[in-house]
């Protein structure tokens, strides 16, 4: 009888202890679930943030590169082409040895070429290009001054004046040809740079997919992991 009473007492004590621990275990489980939820949300947030930052960076790189190709290369080629056309017209009238036509054309061409040179000066240039542009500007100022001096009177241009203007014209066109070559090379370089940026963006997209898979696995481990 005494043994039976002792067994009943032990069972009562054990059940009391279990009842006391059940709220504690339940509270611990709730805390752990909250921690897991916070960790999962932080991981997802960081992944989305990193992805957006990288995508925006590569997009800005490509955008700047394409803008530079258009504004600093394609437009400049158009300016140079128009300058070259104006100089060709000057040469044509120099061949005709007509002071009247040269004077009329000189006013129109001078204004046009000066406008184009001013537009060119506002573009972004490499160090070599800026140096050649300075030569272009100096040669243009010399040609413009000589034309204004020779065409002041109404007399026909002399052979020496025609030869001098022809030589200055030719020097200017050679300088323009050098600048044309720079536009071609720099345009290729900018396009290659854009292609590298696009390729890097594609690589990052693949890495992001891999990161998503890894983070998905980590989330699975966090969700299904049960602490002892």
Q: What is the pLDDT of residues 56-90, one digit of tens each?
A: 776 776 677 667 777 778 888 899 999 998 888 88
41 Cβ contact list (under 8 Å, min separation 6): none
Q: In the prediction, which pLDDT does 13 show?
A: 46
Q: In the prediction, which pLDDT does 58 show?
A: 67
> Minimal CA–CA distance to 109: which of 130, 69, 140?
140
Query: Would you say 25 and 153 are in contact if contact means Cβ atoms under 8 Å apart?
Result: no
Domain boundaries 2-224, corresponding CATH code: 1.20.120.330
Residue 145: pLDDT band (50, 70, 90) is confident
pTM of the model: 0.64
Q: In the prediction, which pLDDT does 225 show?
A: 64
Q: Give the whole-angstrom CA distance, residue 76 versus residue 120.
A: 6
Distance of CA 205 to the CA centre of its chain: 19
Residue with tokens 């406008």: 115
| For residue 7, pLDDT beyond 70 | no
218-228 burial: b if 16+ Cβ within 10 Å, else e:
eeeeeeeeeee
Residue 226: pLDDT band (50, 70, 90) is low
> Minimal CA–CA distance to 197: which of 59, 50, 70?
59
Q: In the prediction, which pLDDT does 107 show?
A: 61
146 token code pair: 């000589």
| For residue 10, pLDDT beyond 50 | no
Distance of CA 123 to the CA centre of its chain: 16
88 Cβ contact list (under 8 Å, min separation 6): 173
Q: In the prediction, which pLDDT does 5 show?
A: 46
Residue 102: pLDDT band (50, 70, 90) is low
């Amino acid at each position: 009888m005494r043994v039976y009473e002792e067994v009943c007492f032990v069972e009562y004590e054990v059940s009391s202890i279990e009842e006391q621990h059940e709220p504690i275990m339940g509270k611990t489980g709730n805390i752990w679930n909250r921690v897991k939820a916070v960790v999962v949300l932080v991981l997802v947030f960081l992944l989305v943030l990193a992805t957006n930052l990288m995508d925006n960076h590569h997009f800005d790189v490509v955008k700047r590169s394409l803008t530079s190709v258009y504004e600093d290369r394609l437009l400049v080629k158009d300016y140079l082409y128009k300058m070259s056309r104006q100089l060709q017209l000057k040469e044509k009238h120099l061949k005709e040895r007509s002071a009247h036509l040269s004077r009329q054309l000189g006013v129109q061409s001078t204004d046009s070429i000066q406008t184009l040179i001013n537009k060119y000066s506002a573009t972004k240039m490499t160090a070599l290009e800026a140096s050649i542009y300075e030569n272009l500007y100096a040669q243009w100022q010399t040609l413009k001054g000589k034309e204004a001096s020779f065409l002041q009177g109404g007399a026909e241009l002399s052979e020496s004046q025609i030869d001098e203007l022809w030589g200055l014209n030719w020097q200017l066109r050679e300088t323009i040809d050098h600048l044309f070559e720079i536009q071609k090379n720099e345009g290729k370089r900018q396009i290659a740079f854009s292609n590298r940026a696009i390729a890097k963006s594609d690589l990052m997209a693949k890495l992001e997919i891999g990161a998503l898979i890894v983070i998905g696995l980590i989330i699975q481990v966090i969700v299904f992991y049960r602490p002892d």
